[in-house]
Amino acid sequence: MAQDFRIPGRGRVDRTKPIAFTFNGRTVEGYEGDTLASALLASGIRLMGRSFKYHRPRGVLTHGADEPNALFQVDRGPGRADPNNRATVVEAVAGLKVSSQNHWPSLEHDIGQVNDLVAPVLTAGFYYKTFMWPRSFWDKLYEPAIRAAAGLGVAPDAPDADRYVHRNTHCDVLVVGAGPAGLAAALAASEAGKRVILADEQAEMGGSLLADLTATIDGKTASAFVAYALKTLAGRANATLLNRTTAFGYYNHNHVVLTERVTDHLAAPDAKLPRERLWQVRAKEVVLATGAHERPLGFADNDRPGIMLAESVRTYVNRYGVAPGRRIVFATNGASAYRAAADAKAAGLDVTLVDLRPEAEIGPERALLSGNELLAGHTVVGSTGGKAVTGLIVAPLSAGRVGARRTLACDCVGMSGGWTPAVHLFSQSRGKLTFRTEIDAFVPGSSVQAERSAGACKGTYDLAGILAEGWTAGAEAAGVPSTRAFAAAPATPTGFRAARVLPTDADPKKVRAFLDFQNDVTAKDIGLAVREGFESVEHVKRYTTNGMATDQGKTSNMAALGLVSEILAKDIPQVGTTTFRPPYTPVTFGAIVGTARGETFDPIRTAPVHEWAAKQGAKFENVALWRRAWYFPKPGEDMHAAVARECRAVRESVGLLDASTLGKIEVMGPDAAEFMNRMYPNGWTKLEPGKCRYGLMLKEDGFILDDGIVARMAPDRFHVTTSTSGAPRVMAHMEDYLQTEWPDLDVFLTSITEQWGVIAVQGPRAREVIAPFVSGIDLSPEAFPQMAVREGEILGVPTRLMRVSFTGELGFEINVPADFTQAVWEALFAYGQRFGITPYGTEAMHVLRAERGFIIVGQETDGTVTPDDVGLSGMISKAKKDFVGKRSLARPDMARADRKQLVGLLSADGRTVLEEGAQIVADTQQALPMKMLGHVTSSYLSPTLNHPIALAVISGGRARMGETLFVTTPAGFTAVKVVAPVFLDPEGKRVEGLVEGGVHA
Amino acid sequence: MLLVPCPYCGPRPEVEFRCGGEAHIARPADPDALDDAAWAEYLFARTSPKGVHAERWLHAHGCGRWFNALRNTVSDAFITTYEMGEPRPDITGGR
């Protein structure tokens, strides 16, 4: 397509490097240095999208990050498509496929524009009022239909093909924004020798100076000054320049997060480069030089394609060499639009400027235009046109009265309602804003963090002032205060009169003056919200959705705020402002996620026998960060069959479990026993070395925290085991008490989880399997009873051998140095073949322990369960004066008879396997809501008993033995009988002796 | 993200730490001597001042040591850190 609107000899685009991309399938040509928006305008394309709610035709409004209208789906190839890109910031790259959004069947002919005709009912909060009944229609009909009709782009459905990285860095001074203030600040700070990072969101640094063809700074043109500043900074090793880098979040203690777009502007990027780089910067001092956003003016139909901001017209003309129209009408209430009009005129375009202010109020900017180019004291009451603006309807104002209308024919309108300092980052840093009436804007007031603002973001709009302020801020941030005056000419006129919705002679109820272009919020909507009682600006925002779109109201917030204050007749500071939150502009999920995806999403811990188990075809489950063998299916077996076979092997012969994931802590030192006495409810003083004991650990509130077997290796040394996922918790709990309550105790705590691998050999043949390999330990039942621990060797490897059982069977847990675990395992497995030795996983382990009635912390307990609740009050030493949790157990509530207590449940029909978590009631006929007695905590089909078994916690459960209760199932209630929570071997004979209890999750 | 000044390792990012809540709440020497209300007070009642607050911090993913810190809950500024067992420094201000 020909670039009919390209202005010869103007702009910073590289005319030696033409590029072409497609827009809705049409080829569009441009040059390197163009944005999508400037290239489209150069080809005369003004219609760039349909609005969110009313599907009104929209064109580009701005030239930067604040763009609410021109949002595109951008396709860079498979896995590289993403929606809602602002045409004003995406660089035009050869080969890009770009399409507009929110229309069907096409941008030009959009069925959704029927919404615009029924606009009177689509007012603020319309869906709250309209789609109320019947309630059931909301989820299935109303919401999906509304979402389909009012939408943005299409979310990508393929995995992101790009790579994203994070970088952490420190600096002395971070300067955000490389316009005149930021450049001056960076020059000052880097001259002082400080490590400086200068970040700017645009492809090219320079900010507003890039569109300035008239100003000179110290005798240089604006463009030459930018070149000089950048060259100077590039020559300083202590300065880092980051372009295409947006500072989007300002967090605590000068933690500022930037996202750098590394490859999006390259047609064929090096595959080694990440698409984006997220910079986590910790800066000693920050200079905010983020500039200001121009405000639209409120008048009827101010959203037609071709109507844009005045400074945007200037930028397209001067920076990109593009005429957004040939007959341009500017509408304003201040001085800055005069410069835009004068520049457009200098580019050979036809201009007229309509100023709300009467002639007498207009300052030196008057000289920029000739008499017949200016209509002073005029208001704008509407526009004409359809898919492009064809005229602006204006009328003179005298004594507050709107005079006769006239239509100024045009193909572009540049409007300026003044400026809003970009205080987003300052506000995120928790600084307090103050309101300056003369510029009708909030500016940074008092700081909370080590930062300072300079330039337009502080409400300073004249170039000389901006540069001087930038220098001072940079020098101050560097800790070497200095000032420097810059000679900037010509002087910048800054006259301004606040106006939001322009005076009109039309019926205000029929005027649709858009404030928030992206969310289609009009001045009328704001008025309606206030009339309906939403007086807080935060409420008005949420009710009307003003400022809640992806542009976060950069162009609309102040207008809405001003309007609320006008309607309520309160000063703006009294109305307050909405809260600015990160991100400043949308950030890709990829940048946030970085490398934390796929295999590197989270660390994975594997047990020593993991690879062997994987080769055997084991299925794994996640337990905390561990991957544990879940079950070992043989060909043709499902999980149920495999688990049943594994359980039978343990009950009838022998099984092997990799229990290495158990947490292990060595408690060492002269005061180790005293420390254990204080940490655990049971007594440890009398536990002899060589003996194990079940340890139930409580929090100070008396509730169970964790459990595990504790072996006393020596008078001053305990080998403590914890549940797999509880290990860090238990270690932290112990350290907390040791360091902060009892620093006088001479004890050391060492995590030994990774050092010891653990092989559980369980079943009647367990002793026979290990016997040939063990040396230095007498394995006879007399010499090595249940709950004993011995040190010796297995296969010549040192071992801490424990005779413990979490299955109810005779069993051993062989602790060996982790690196030898697999060798020992393989030897036992080979030798055990004669007994049909069977590796079993965590599922079989759960079933086996449930048959025997052993609890799992986190399954039978939930942080509100006492030892007595699970029938373990026998663990509590009566002799000890104190231990963690003791006093809490003496509270009356801990002894109530109706506490939920652990019981067993048997399904009355002998078939139904209950659902874990299912609720339990006594009477199915009672009125709703029913009284819940408790819930099922564990439930399995027992392969040993050949019927379902379940554990549950039930209010007053131990007094309900034999009762019939009812449990919810997907098919309704099912009857269960309450029994003791032990289904097998209640006397504990299978381990050849008294079982002290179970452990290990 | 806060920058927490570990007295043993220097300033480190917040993700390496765990905040242990209000400091200077010593476990009673003889819990049995407390009535239920007093015990509940020890167990659950914490102050939440606007301004300077004494807190326990653990450099969990660092040196593993607990320390106390004075932090301004309005500005999040760390005013000072000190060892467990030391009395609270007599500082009320701080940015």
User: Which CATH code, of 3.40.50.11890, 2.40.30.110, 2.40.110.10, 1.10.1200.10, is assigned to A897-981?
Assistant: 2.40.30.110
Pairing of strands A655-658, A717-722: unpaired
Q: What is the DSSP string of A545-613?
A: -TT-STTTTTTTHHHHHHHHHHHHT--HHHH--PPP-S-SS---HHHHHTT-SGGGSS--EE-TTHHHH
Q: Is A986 helix (H, G, I), strand (E, B) or coil?
A: coil
Q: Which of A551, A295, A506 is nearest to A383 (CA)?
A: A506
How far is Cα A477 from Cα A484, in angstroms, rounded to an integer?
Answer: 15
> Does some domain include residue B75?
yes
Q: Could you list the residue range(s) of the whole structural domain that residue B57 is in?
A: 3-26+40-82
Question: What's at A165, amino acid-wise?
Answer: V
Chain B residues touching residue A886 (CB < 8 angstroms): 31-32
Judge if A164-292+421-481 and A294-417+495-575 fold alike in CATH terms.
yes
For A888, which residue in chain B has the nearest alpha carbon? B39
- The verdict on whether omega for the bond into residue A57 sits within 30 degrees of 0, i.e. cis, is no
**B22 is a domain residue:** yes
The chain-wide mean pLDDT, for chain A, equals 94
Which H or E run includes A181?
A: helix A180-191
| Amino acid sitting at position B35 | D
Q: Where are the domains positioned within chain A? A: 14-121, 164-292+421-481, 294-417+495-575, 897-981
If you classify domain A294-417+495-575 with CATH, what class do you get? Answer: alpha beta
Kindly state whether residue B53 falls inside one of the protein's structural domains. Answer: yes
* Contact status, residue A164 vs residue A588, Cβ threshold 8 Å: yes
CB A63 within 8 A of CB A316: yes
Note whether B19 contacts A: Cβ–Cβ < 8 A.
no
CATH number, domain A14-121: 3.10.20.440
Question: Per residue in A618-652, pLDDT tens?
Answer: 999 999 999 999 999 999 999 999 999 999 999 99
Distance from the Cα of A886 to chain B's closest Cα (Å) equals 8
DSSP-H helix ranges across A378-483: 424-428, 463-477
Q: pLDDT tens digits for A527-550? A: 999 999 988 888 999 999 898 888
Q: Which of A740, A886, A890 sits opposite B66 (nearest CB)?
A: A740
Q: Which one of A679, A740, A888 makes the best mutation probe of the B interface by having the most chain B beta carbons within 10 Å?
A: A740
CATH superfamily of A164-292+421-481: FAD/NAD(P)-binding domain (3.50.50.60)
- 3-class SS string, A455-521: HHHHCCCCHHHHHHHHHHHHHHHCCCCCCCCCCEECCCCCCECCCCECCCCCCHHHCCCEEECCCCE
Contact B84 A736 (CB under 8 A): no
Give dist(CA B11, CA A255) in Å, integer: 13
Q: How far apart are CA A290 and CA A286, in angstroms?
A: 12
Six token digits for residue A801? 């051998």
Q: Which residue has the higher pLDDT, A150 or B38?
A: B38
Q: Are A457 and A288 in contact (CB under 8 A)?
A: yes
- B37 CB neighbours in chain A (<8 A) are none
* Domain annotation covers residue B87: no
Q: What is the pLDDT of residues B43-93, one digit of tens each?
A: 999 999 999 999 999 999 999 999 999 999 988 999 999 999 999 998 865
Residue A126's pLDDT is what? Answer: 67
Which A residues 253-292 touch B at CB under 8 Å?
A: 253-255, 282
Is A525 in contact with A36 (CB distance < 8 Å)? no
- A886 touching B (Cβ < 8 Å): yes
Task: Return the number of CB contacts < 8 Å for A and B.
Answer: 59
- Residue B49 is part of a domain; what is its CATH number? 3.30.2270.10
Q: Contact, B49 vs B73, CB < 8 A?
A: yes
Whether B32 shows a pLDDT value over 80: the answer reads yes
* Length of chain B in terms of residues written: 95
B9 within a domain of the structure (yes/no): yes
Q: Do A253 and B36 touch (CB under 8 A)?
A: no
Contact A210, A543 (CB under 8 A): no
Residue B16 lies in a domain: yes
Residues of B in contact with A879 (CB under 8 A): none
Asked if B31 and A887 come within 8 Å (Cβ–Cβ), the reply is yes
CB contact under 8 Å between B1 and A253, yes or no, is: yes
Interface test with A, best of B66, B72, B83 (most A CBs within 10 A): B66
Q: Give me the pLDDT at residue B92, please.
A: 66
Q: How many CA atoms lie within 13 A of A393 on its CB side?
A: 18
Q: CA nearest B72 in A: which residue?
A: A448
Contact B36 A891 (CB under 8 A): yes
For residue A89, give every residue at least 6 positions away whose Cβ sits within 8 Å of its Cβ, in sequence order, or none.
A35, A64, A65, A67, A201, A202, A585
Instruction: Check CB contact under 8 Å for B75 and A740.
Output: no
Residue A127, pLDDT above cutoff 90: no
Residue of B13, B32, B66 lying closest to A739 (CB–CB):
B66
> How many domains is chain B partitioned into structurally?
1
Beta-carbon separation of A887 and B66 below 8 A: no
ipTM over 0.85? The verdict is yes
What band does A661 get if pLDDT is binned at 50, 70 and 90? very high
Instruction: Please report which confidence band the pLDDT of residue A133 belongs to, taking 50, 70 and 90 as the band edges.
Output: low
Q: Which of A255, A430, A735 sits opposite B1 (nearest CB)?
A: A255
A790-836: pLDDT as tens digits: 999 999 999 999 999 999 999 999 999 999 999 999 999 999 999 99
Instruction: Give a yes or no: residue B94 inside a domain.
Output: no
Annotate A235-294 with three-state secondary structure. CCCCEEEECCEEEEEEEHHHEEEEEEECCCCCCCCCCCCCCEEEEEEEEEEEEECCCEEE
Cα separation, A894 vs A865, in Å, equals: 9
- Chain B contacts of A735, Cβ < 8 Å? 58, 64, 66
User: What's the CA gap between A615 and A607, in Å, rounded?
Assistant: 14
pTM, two decimals, is: 0.89
The answer to whether the beta carbons of residues B55 and B19 sit under 8 Å apart is: yes
Answer yes or no: are the C-beta atoms of A661 and A724 closer than 8 Å: yes
Catalogue the E-assigned strands of chain B.
3-6, 10-13, 18-22, 52-58, 66-72, 78-82
**Choice among A19-28, A228-237, A513-522, A915-924 with the minimum mean pLDDT:** A513-522
d(CA A482, CA A475): 6
CB A314 within 8 A of CB A341: no
Task: Using CB atoms within 10 Å of the CB of residue A168, give its burial: 0 to 12 exposed, 13 to 18 middle, 19+ buried.
Answer: exposed
| Mean pLDDT confidence for A948-953 | 98
Which of these, A722, A693, A685, lies nearest to A707 by C-alpha position?
Answer: A722
Q: Please name the residue that has the structure tokens 């663990």.
A: A875
Tell whether B35 is covered by a domain.
no
| A888:B64 CB<8 A | no
The token pair at A939 is: 């439930």
pLDDT band at A148 (very low <50, low <70, confident <90, very high): low
Per DSSP, the three-state class of A827 is: helix
Does the pLDDT at position A132 exceed 70? no
Contact A421, A458 (CB under 8 A): yes
In chain A, the largest separation of any two C-alpha atoms, in whole Å, equals 115
